[in-house]
């Protein structure tokens, strides 16, 4: 290996002999020596070697001249540009017509995903996903595939590239990491059935998730085939390659009926020896500073996100276990005679914690005896959280171990995707910073990759158009090389016997895969309006023909869509929207009458009136937990004194607020109980006076506990026994109106939070800027009239953004959990 100090002649010979497997050290050493000796002279006699050195040096980040510069090197780069032109055809942007035309054929550039589930009997053994996908779908599928691969321990062999994802069961039964699948924020509507115990479960989970996404969005097509499909197709190609000695063979099984709906990625096979076409590069290609930066950003979006999530779950469960332990102890330490007053006679269980999935499930509320709950159920719940925290700790250790394996599987998976995109001339558009880093690196490395691929193919007598098509993907493996780990680039094609034919001809030297994508061209003609009108007229006429059957409708609508997709689909939807104008039905997009809307409004008004005091009480608690004193005061005033049960609690909450406002210490609130210091101010005393007027016994009991517990815990207990709002609504319509409004507002909040989080700069953000971006949406999550509530994740976010925990305590009623037993 030519390191600094090695004579230039030896280094030069080494470079020429080893190409394309040349190490970074060798390349940069030669480049520097060339620059130092005579940049205007040639280093090699062969100009293509000079060109290669320039492009390899650029691939490693050296400041190589640009083609067209007046320097000698710049002129060489321009004169020989044809040797390093892109190898793959420029990517095409598919629209609705391409999708309608090719709905039966998978294509790497298709925005709609085709998913093949390989089945071994009834169980999935692998998944092949073909298609570029819409960004919104890709953002869900890529992480899900990455997670499945990580869970199965197959990161070193799987492929998570642009346009093609292949995840397969490991050959031996490796144990799976128990990873709850929602770690990467996979499809939000997906409810996993279980945490995978082994690799088979992990892949089954991925399949379920893809199915759910397909059903929900319609933007994924699912297919199933036998587990041995890839092997069968590969073998079929090899058989034909070996038989091609005498005559060229065109294998077109599409002509056989019925041809099976199967697909696989198959390598380009060299003829006649049957080996897979491939090229090696030195692994040091990935040591270029631009790649290192790119890899760091890629890791942030994948493995670091997973680690973060697991860490958050571990910490959350630890805190929750501690909170439950504290509640248990506090209940035990409360004198029996005061327990009912302080803690309430019953608790309402409306959330069930599922330790297997580490998630809370909202359940139909049920009353539970407080004594039974705090003394017997709470220790079990705390234990569940402790166990989950321990499990998350173990998962974290496993992920770290998997990440740090000597064969660096995450690194290989990243390199596979990024190198493939670089060779094919595609983009990586997961996030702005990843896109920027990829563009910078790709601009450096592409010319070298294209030069070496062109040379390899030319040397082998292969035309690059036979290998690099719209349906070619480059798989990257690793293998031990002369100077360390090499990168092995192996082009593959999508083989779909219904839509692909394979030409095996000795003169072509490699299998040629023929499909319609080879004839794809950008659409350059507008739709023919007359044809579109004609096609739609035929659809409309069907309604006048008695006894029209579904097949006629399908044919006519499909024709109309093909003639002008945008216009036809608009017409279909507009027709259906108009259809509802006179409807009174629930199952259609009908427009209900204004009277109907009025009925909703009237029912909601009834609900608002019935729940106003209770909502004010809840809002006061939430506002106090995030220190919004004026909101607390206004809410307490809204609770009023008509309902003494609520009135006493609201007045005590106000006393706590004014005590804190005067600088009282929440950790030792004895001064509040004693009425001295901040606890003796006029406003505190006035609030306590009001509380005593409402219920003096409760007030004294509540004040008495302040000797034992902090103010936060005491304030939390003011919300114990407060019923859910729905309880107050006996009228079904009012209840439905209320709950549907809550649902709509909660859905809106979800969107606000997501949109706000999307504005955070990936590379970092000053703390106040992050708070300014998220703060308004978070405030709504606490205080929205309908959907505001205390939520763990919202408090966690505020704690990070403001550097402070909740003002104190749990605010409103903490979620009481059923242990699921």
Partner 1 sequence: MRGEIYVLSLLRVSELADNVVTEHLRDSVNSNAVAELTDPERQHLAGARYEYLADKITEAFQPPPPPRFTEANFLDLLQPIVQRELARVLGCPPEDALASLLDPIPIMRDLDSIQPSTLPPTLDADVEPLLYALLTGPANGHAVTRIRQRYQFGENDWGTYLRTRRWLLDSAIDLLHQEATRRGWGRVEPSRALAGLIAHAGQPTAERLGPSEGHFDALAIVVLRRLAAQLAGDLREEAEASISSAIAKAPTMTGLIKLRGWIDLYERNSLARGLLKLCGGTVPLRRVIAHAERSVKQVYATYEKPIRNENLTVGNVNEFPRREGLLRREQWYVTFDVQCLLGDDDEPVTILTITRLPRRDFPQVRGAIERLHGTDLSAVGDTVGDRLLNTGVSAGNDLQSLLRGYIERHCALVAQTIVLAGIQQPLTADDVPWQRSLRDHLRYIPRNPDQDVVFQKDLAEIIDEVREHYRDTGRDLVIDSEPP
Footprint (CB under 8 A) of partner 1, residues 605-634:
623, 626-631, 633-634
Sole binder of partner 1 in the list 1, 16, 92, 357 (CB under 8 A): 92
CB of 245 to partner 1, least distance (A): 12
Residue (of 396, 387, 241) closest to 320 by Cα position: 387
Q: Which of 594-619 are b and which e, b meaning 16 or more Cβ less than 10 Å from the residue's Cβ?
A: eeeeeeeeebbebbbebbebbbbbbb
Rounded Cα distance between 685 and 659, Å, is 9
Of the pair 69, 371, the CB lying nearest partner 1 is at 69
- What is the helix (H) or strand (E) element at residue 168, kind and residue range? strand 163-168
CB of 794 to partner 1, least distance (A): 6
Residue list 50-89, contact with partner 1 (CB under 8 A): 63, 65-66, 68-71, 74
Sole binder of partner 1 in the list 611, 781, 810, 816 (CB under 8 A): 781
Using a 10 angstrom Cβ sphere, with 0-12 exposed, 13-18 middle and 19 or more buried, the burial of residue 706 is: buried
CB of 72 to partner 1, least distance (A): 11
Of the pair 520, 639, the CB lying nearest partner 1 is at 520
Of the pair 331, 600, the CB lying nearest partner 1 is at 600
Evaluate whether 61 touches 27 at the Cβ level (below 8 Å).
no
Peptide bond into 133 cis (omega under 30): no
Q: What is the full DSSP assignment across 629-646?
A: HHHHHHHHHHH-SSSHHH
Task: Determine the 3-state secondary structure of 349 from DSSP.
Answer: strand
Tally of residues, the chain = 821
Residue (of 83, 103, 215, 229) closest to 166 by Cα position: 229
CB of 748 to partner 1, least distance (A): 5
Of the pair 365, 379, the CB lying nearest partner 1 is at 365
Of the pair 10, 193, the CB lying nearest partner 1 is at 193
333 binds partner 1 (CB under 8 A): no
Under DSSP, the state recorded for 803 is S
Q: Which of 233-264 are b and which e, b meaning 16 or more Cβ less than 10 Å from the residue's Cβ?
A: bbebbbebbeebeeeebebebeeeeeeeebbb
Interacting span for partner 1 (CB under 8 A) from 167-175, 447-455, 522-530, 642-650 = 522-530
Rounded Cα distance between 745 and 740, Å, is 9
Evaluate whether 132 touches 108 at the Cβ level (below 8 Å).
yes
Of the pair 497, 664, the CB lying nearest partner 1 is at 497
Rounded Cα distance between 152 and 158, Å, is 10
Rounded Cα distance between 229 and 120, Å, is 10
665 binds partner 1 (CB under 8 A): no
Rounded Cα distance between 131 and 720, Å, is 53
Of the pair 306, 487, the CB lying nearest partner 1 is at 306
Positive or negative torsion for Cα 556, 562, 563, 567: positive
Evaluate whether 151 touches 176 at the Cβ level (below 8 Å).
yes
CB of 473 to partner 1, least distance (A): 18
765 binds partner 1 (CB under 8 A): yes
Rounded Cα distance between 650 and 719, Å, is 9
215 binds partner 1 (CB under 8 A): yes
742 binds partner 1 (CB under 8 A): yes
Residue (of 417, 541, 427, 491) closest to 142 by Cα position: 417
Q: Print the binding letters for residues 351-390 with partner 1: x by CB under 8 A, - otherwise.
A: ---------x-x----------------------------
555 binds partner 1 (CB under 8 A): no
CB of 304 to partner 1, least distance (A): 6
CB of 359 to partner 1, least distance (A): 9
739 binds partner 1 (CB under 8 A): yes
How many chain residues bind partner 1 (CB under 8 A)?
Answer: 196
Rounded Cα distance between 251 and 187, Å, is 40
Sole binder of partner 1 in the list 387, 482, 768, 805 (CB under 8 A): 768
Strand extents, DSSP E, 294-399:
346-354, 359-369
531 binds partner 1 (CB under 8 A): no
Q: Print the binding letters for residues 439-458 with partner 1: x by CB under 8 A, - otherwise.
A: --------------------
Sole binder of partner 1 in the list 778, 810, 814, 816 (CB under 8 A): 778
Sole binder of partner 1 in the list 322, 756, 819, 820 (CB under 8 A): 756
Of the pair 279, 794, the CB lying nearest partner 1 is at 794
Partners of 362 in beta bridges:
351
Interacting span for partner 1 (CB under 8 A) from 147-155, 201-209, 478-486, 726-734 = 726-734
573 binds partner 1 (CB under 8 A): yes
Sole binder of partner 1 in the list 236, 490, 638, 704 (CB under 8 A): 236
Of the pair 4, 432, the CB lying nearest partner 1 is at 432
């Amino acid at each position: 290996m030519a390191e600094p100090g090695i004579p230039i002649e030896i280094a030069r010979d080494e470079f020429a002999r080893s190409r394309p497997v040349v190490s970074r050290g060798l390349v940069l050493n030669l480049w520097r020596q060339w620059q130092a000796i005579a940049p205007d002279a040639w280093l090699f006699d062969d100009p293509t070697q000079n060109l290669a050195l320039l492009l390899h040096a650029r691939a490693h980040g050296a400041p190589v001249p640009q083609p067209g510069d007046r320097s000698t090197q710049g002129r060489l780069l321009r004169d020989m540009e044809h040797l390093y032109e892109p190898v793959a055809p420029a990517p095409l942007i598919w629209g609705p017509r391409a999708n309608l035309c090719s709905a039966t054929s998978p294509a790497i550039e298709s925005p709609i995903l085709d998913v093949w589930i390989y089945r071994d009997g009834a169980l999935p053994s692998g998944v092949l996903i073909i298609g570029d996908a819409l960004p919104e779908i890709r953002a869900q599928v890529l992480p899900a595939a990455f997670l499945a691969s990580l869970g199965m321990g197959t990161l070193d062999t799987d492929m998570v590239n642009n346009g093609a994802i292949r995840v397969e069961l490991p050959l031996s039964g490796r144990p799976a990491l128990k990873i709850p699948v929602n770690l990467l924020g996979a499809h939000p509507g997906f409810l996993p059935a279980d945490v995978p115990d082994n690799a088979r479960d992990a892949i089954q989970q991925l399949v379920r998730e893809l199915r759910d996404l397909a059903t929900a969005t319609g933007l994924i097509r699912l297919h199933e085939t036998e587990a041995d499909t890839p092997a069968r197709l590969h073998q079929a190609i090899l058989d034909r390659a070996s038989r091609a000695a005498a005559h060229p063979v065109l294998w077109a099984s599409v002509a056989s009926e019925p041809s099976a709906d199967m697909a696989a990625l198959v390598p380009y096979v060299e003829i006649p020896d049957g080996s897979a076409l491939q090229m090696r590069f030195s692994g040091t290609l990935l040591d270029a500073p631009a790649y290192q930066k790119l890899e760091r950003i890629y890791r942030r979006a994948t493995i670091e996100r997973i680690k973060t999530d697991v860490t958050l779950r571990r910490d959350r469960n630890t805190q929750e276990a501690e909170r439950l332990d504290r509640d248990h102890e506090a209940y035990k330490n409360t004198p029996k005679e005061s327990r009912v007053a302080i803690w309430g006679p019953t608790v309402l269980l409306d959330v069930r914690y599922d330790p297997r999935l580490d998630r809370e499930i909202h359940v139909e509320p049920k009353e539970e005896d407080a004594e039974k709950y705090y003394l017997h159920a709470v220790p079990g719940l705390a234990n569940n959280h402790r166990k989950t925290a321990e499990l998350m700790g173990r998962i974290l250790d496993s992920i770290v171990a998997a990440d740090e394996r000597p064969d660096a599987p995450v690194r290989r998976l990243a390199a596979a995707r990024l190198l493939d995109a670089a060779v094919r001339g595609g983009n990586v558009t997961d996030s702005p910073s990843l896109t920027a880093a990829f563009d910078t690196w790709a601009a450096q490395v592409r010319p070298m990759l294209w030069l070496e691929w062109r040379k390899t193919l030319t040397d082998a007598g292969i035309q690059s158009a036979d290998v690099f098509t719209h349906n070619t993907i480059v798989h990257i493996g690793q293998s031990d090389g002369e100077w360390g780990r090499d990168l092995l680039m192996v082009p593959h094609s999508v083989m779909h016997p219904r839509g692909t034919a394979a030409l095996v001809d000795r003169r072509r030297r490699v299998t040629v895969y023929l499909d319609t994508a080879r004839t794809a061209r950008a659409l350059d003609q507008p739709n023919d309006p007359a044809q579109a009108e004609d096609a739609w007229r035929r659809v409309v006429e069907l309604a006048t023909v008695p006894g029209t059957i579904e097949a006629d409708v399908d044919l006519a609508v499909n024709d109309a869509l093909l003639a002008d997709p945008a216009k036809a689909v608009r017409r279909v939807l507009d027709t259906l929207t108009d259809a509802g104008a006179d409807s009174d039905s629930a199952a259609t997009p009908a427009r209900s009458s204004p009277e109907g809307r009025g009925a909703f409004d009237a029912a909601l008004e009834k609900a608002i009136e019935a729940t106003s005091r209770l909502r004010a009480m809840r809002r006061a608690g939430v506002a106090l937990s995030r220190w919004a004193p004026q909101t607390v005061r206004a809410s307490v005033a809204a609770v009023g004194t008509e309902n003494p049960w609520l009135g006493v609690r609201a007045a005590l909450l106000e006393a706590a607020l004014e005590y804190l406002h005067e600088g009282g210490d929440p950790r030792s609130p004895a001064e509040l109980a004693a009425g001295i210091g901040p606890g003796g101010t006029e406003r505190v005393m006035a609030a306590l006076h009001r509380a005593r007027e409402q219920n003096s016994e409760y007030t004294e009991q509540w004040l008495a506990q302040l000797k034992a517990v902090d103010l936060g815990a005491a304030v939390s207990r003011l919300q114990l026994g407060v019923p859910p709002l729905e309880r107050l609504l006996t009228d079904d319509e009012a209840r439905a109106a209320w709950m549907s409004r809550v649902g709509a507002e909660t859905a809106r909040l979800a969107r606000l939070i997501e949109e706000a989080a999307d504005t955070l700069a990936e590379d970092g953000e000053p703390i106040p800027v992050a708070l300014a971006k998220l703060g308004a949406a978070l405030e709504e999550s606490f205080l929205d009239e309908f959907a505001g509530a205390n939520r763990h994740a919202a408090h966690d976010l505020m704690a990070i953004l403001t550097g402070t925990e909740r003002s104190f305590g749990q605010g409103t009623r903490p979620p009481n959990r059923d242990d699921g037993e």
